[in-house]
Amino acid sequence: MIIDAHQHIWTRTVADYDWLTPAAGVLYRDFTMADVAADRRAAGVAGVVLVQAADDARDTAHMQRAADADPAVVAIVAWVPLDAPAATARALERLREDDRIVGVRALIHERDDPDWILRDDVAAGLAQVAAAGL
């Protein structure tokens, strides 16, 4: 069985996709599981892991709704606010209810601070993610 381990979807009105501007050219549109379906089937890909495309909880919820509607979604890599430990804990508590959540991701390449990932508050958030098994 072939699984695409890194698939993004987005609907521009759902979350703040800061990177998605007219300068993105052909990507500057909504991209849904329907867009993925034909190519996925033609390539013999049985399922996909949806990976967050925005540092925004609404993007995670959007992926969860897509997974509810399409059994080809076998897992989700979500977003949590790693730099806000109390908010990280709340987000992880909500995500714990969904066994499709297999990890978290942050768009660190979008940060102005190149050392953001090394900050103490982010380390505390990452420790919570590790403790949650993600």
**pLDDT tens for residues 63-121?**
999 999 999 999 999 999 999 999 999 999 999 999 999 999 999 888 889 999 999 99
Torsional sign, CA 36, 3, 9, 69: positive
Q: Distance between CA atoms of 123 and 65, rounded to whole angstroms?
A: 30
What pLDDT, on the 0 to 100 scale, is given for residue 110? 84
The answer for 70, left when phi > 0, alpha when psi is -120 to 50, beta otherwise, is: beta
**Is the pTM here over 0.85, yes or no?**
yes
Domain ranges of the chain: 2-131
* CATH fold of 2-131: TIM Barrel (3.20.20)
- DSSP string across 61-80: HHHHHHHHH-TTEEEEEE--
